[in-house]
């Protein structure tokens, strides 16, 4: 009688422990990735995913436990050693030089880079073999986000990894680009390569992954075949309880126009910036208008113009709560009742070295800081701390200590604090850019429900997002930004994923319909 021998894991982590001051990031974590499988690593923000992945790639070292590669113990002291073993990684945030070509960026990433002509030939061959269309001679600054991701994957594949680690790989892609990525991953799996797949988009995990390991508060709490689960059951494993679905009323009362843009134009200020061209938009009280688009098509320039970081030539180009605000700065626009949540958390949404309470005070110093001042004009720290704690509790911000520095929080938890800080003001107009980027399923549902409730209580909300599922879940209508132009908003009931995706790719309204 013959017995099937179990496959030796390509990578095995056994009893991994990693502790930082005040935080136990990984506690006795074990998982095994088999040859030729796509393995999901799931968990809410602060669950320990990033720490574990950094140890796999040699960025961090474990305090205890063992890593085994193809059955043999290994100590991976650096990313270079990880690459030599056969481990490649594509991070969520790209590390490309915009002023260099694709081939030049690839050369910089190779430990022993061959001649330029060889890189161009090898990159072209790999891109064709795995369905990743790429011009090695194209300047990165001229490429879409999807094309830039292909560079990251191709330069990783040129190192011929046996294990490819992907962190939120579809967060900046159109639906059509995501489909091409899935086809590439299936080819890699068919070639016997393994993939560790980190994503908050649980429908993707169900579709693509063979197995999943779930972390919660630094520990493994479950393993499963995601194809036998639902998105809701996976989310429940991550957070330890059933998630309440987002509730949205399709019929609601619309009030006065609270936010209006009239023929907004803005020239490109750098070679890689996007010019805004004749943008007009109206948002009524009670409405959530979504703005879809691939990153780099003018969303950042739009946010800067509307928030007051960049002023307009004509005051009536931006109108807030009945007042022409184009010539007013951020503080004055906030005083009118507007609130803003930028895409970049550290350095833009918060000062890393300052505490959470200090960051809260900074965001209100020009509008409603009086609630924190005593009779002599001194900051009443007790009031400020109480407000900061209320925001932390309302959004379930996980942080070490009562008032830590913003830079010590994980990205998802800092995002929750910044969102909560603005929602606490109950603004009449809210402009929010990528509200749930990198945020776990439970927190994302909480944030989306809060945006809906803010609008239904009479505020106007403009939601910029690359997550189409998010836009369809919460918005009353959706417009698409492409190459600095904004389409007419499409009512949610008339919009489809295909139509919005085509508009994101540059199709005209007529051809996308």
pLDDT of residue 418: 94
Residues listed for the chain: 513
Q: Spell out where 3-84 has E strands.
A: 11-20, 23-33, 38-43, 64-69, 72-74
350: exposed, middle or buried (Cβ count in 10 Å: 0-12, 13-18, 19+): buried
Structure confidence at residue 111 as a pLDDT band (50, 70, 90): confident
Q: Tens digits of per-residue pLDDT, 181-215?
A: 899 899 999 999 999 999 888 888 999 999 999 99
pLDDT, position 5: 54
pLDDT at 440 over 90: no
- pLDDT on residue 1: 45
What topology does CATH give the domain 11-239? Answer: Rossmann fold (3.40.50)
Q: How far apart are the first and last CA of the chain?
A: 62
pLDDT over threshold 80, residue 248: no
pLDDT of residue 436: 86
Q: How far apart are CA 466 and CA 469, in angstroms?
A: 9
Burial (CB count <10 Å: 0-12, 13-18, 19+), residue 48:
buried
Asked if 26 and 17 touch (Cβ cutoff 8 Å), the reply is yes
Name the residue ranges covered by the structural domains of the chain: 11-239, 256-337+427-513, 347-426
Tell how strand 64-69 and strand 72-74 pair up. Answer: antiparallel
Query: Who has greater pLDDT, 243 or 150?
Result: 150
Angle between helices 175-190 and 145-157 (to 10 degrees): 10
Q: Kindly tell me if the per-residue pLDDT of 2 is higher than 50.
A: no
467 vs 287 pLDDT, higher one: 287
Mean pLDDT of all residues in 441-448:
84
pLDDT tens digits, residue range 491-501?
Answer: 999 999 889 98
The CA distance from 499 to 435, in Å, is 23
Question: What is the distance between the alpha carbons of residues 285 and 257, in angstroms, rounded to a whole number?
Answer: 6
Check residue 161 and give left, alpha or beta (phi > 0: left; psi -120 to 50: alpha). beta
- Output the pLDDT for position 369: 57
For residues 453-468, average pLDDT: 93
**Residues in a beta bridge with 235:** none
Tens of pLDDT, residue by residue over 354-400, are 999 999 988 887 666 567 776 667 878 888 899 999 999 988 888 87
Distinct helix (H) and strand (E) counts, the chain? 17, 21
Mean model confidence pLDDT for the chain:
88
pLDDT band at 478 (very low <50, low <70, confident <90, very high): very high
Residue 139's beta-bridge partner residues?
Answer: 101
Integer Cα distance of 288 and 458 in angstroms: 11
According to DSSP, the β-strands at 194-198 and 257-266 are: unpaired
The CATH number of the domain covering residues in 256-337+427-513: 3.40.50.300
Q: Are 400 and 23 in contact (CB under 8 A)?
A: yes
Locate 457 and state its tokens.
Answer: 């209580």
**How deeply is 338 buried, as exposed, middle or buried, from its count of CB atoms within 10 A (0-12, 13-18, 19+)?**
buried
What was the pLDDT predicted at 346? 78
- Residues with Cβ within 8 Å of 344's Cβ and at least 6 positions away in sequence, in order, are none
Asked if the model's pLDDT at residue 140 lies above 80, the reply is yes
């Amino acid at each position: 009688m013959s017995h099937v021998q179990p496959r030796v894991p390509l990578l095995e982590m056994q009893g991994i422990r990693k502790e930082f001051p005040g935080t136990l990031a990984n506690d006795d974590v074990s998982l095994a990735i088999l040859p030729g499988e796509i393995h999901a690593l799931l968990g809410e923000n602060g669950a320990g995913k990033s720490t574990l992945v950094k140890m796999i790639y040699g960025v961090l070292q474990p305090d205890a436990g063992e890593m085994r590669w193809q059955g043999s113990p290994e100590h991976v002291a650096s990313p270079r050693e990880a690459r030599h073993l056969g481990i490649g990684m594509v991070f969520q945030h790209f590390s490309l030089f915009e002023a260099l070509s694709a081939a030049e960026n690839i050369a910089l990433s190779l430990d022993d880079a061959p001649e330029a002509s060889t890189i161009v030939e090898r990159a072209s061959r790999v891109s064709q073999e795995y369905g990743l269309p790429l011009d090695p001679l194209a300047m990165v600054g001229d490429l879409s986000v999807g094309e830039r991701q292909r560079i990251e994957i191709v330069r990783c594949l040129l190192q011929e990894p046996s294990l490819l680690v992907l962190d939120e790989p579809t967060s900046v892609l159109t639906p059509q680009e995501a489909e091409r990525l899935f086809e590439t991953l299936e080819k890699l799996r068919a070639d016997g390569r393994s993939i560790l797949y980190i994503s908050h988009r649980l429908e993707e995990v169900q579709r693509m992954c063979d197995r999943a390991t779930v972390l919660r508060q630094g520990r493994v709490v479950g393993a499963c075949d995601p194809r036998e689960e639902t998105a809701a059951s996976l989310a429940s494993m991550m957070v330890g309880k059933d998630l309440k679905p987002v509730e949205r009323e399709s019929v609601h009362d619309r009030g006065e126009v609270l936010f209006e843009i009239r023929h907004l134009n803005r020239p490109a200020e750098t070679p890689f910036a996007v010019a805004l061209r004749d943008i007009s938009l109206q948002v009524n009280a009670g409405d959530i208008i979504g703005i879809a688009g691939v990153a780099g098509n003018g969303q950042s320039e739009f946010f800067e113009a509307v928030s007051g970081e960049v002023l307009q030539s004509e005051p009536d180009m931006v109108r807030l709560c009945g007042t022409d605000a184009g010539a007013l700065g951020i503080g004055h626009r906030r005083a009118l009742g507007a609130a803003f949540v930028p895409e970049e958390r550290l350095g833009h949404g918060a000062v890393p070295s300052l505490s959470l309470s200090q960051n809260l005070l900074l965001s209100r110093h020009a509008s409603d800081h009086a609630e924190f001042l005593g009779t002599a004009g001194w900051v009443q720290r007790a009031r400020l701390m109480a407000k900061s704690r209320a925001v932390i509790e309302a959004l379930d911000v996980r942080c070490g200590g009562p008032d830590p520095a913003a830079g010590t929080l994980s990205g998802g938890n800092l995002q929750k604090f910044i969102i909560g800080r603005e929602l606490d003001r109950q603004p009449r107009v809210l402009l929010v850019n990528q509200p749930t980027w990198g945020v776990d399923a439970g927190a994302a549902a909480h944030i989306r429900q809060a945006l809906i409730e803010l609008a239904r209580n009479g505020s106007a909300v403009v939601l910029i997002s690359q997550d189409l599922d998010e836009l369809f879940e919460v918005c009353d209508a959706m417009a698409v930004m492409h190459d600095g132009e904004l389409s007419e908003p499409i009512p949610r009931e008339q919009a489809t994923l295909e139509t919005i995706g085509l508009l994101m790719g540059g199709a005209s309204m007529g051809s996308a319909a």
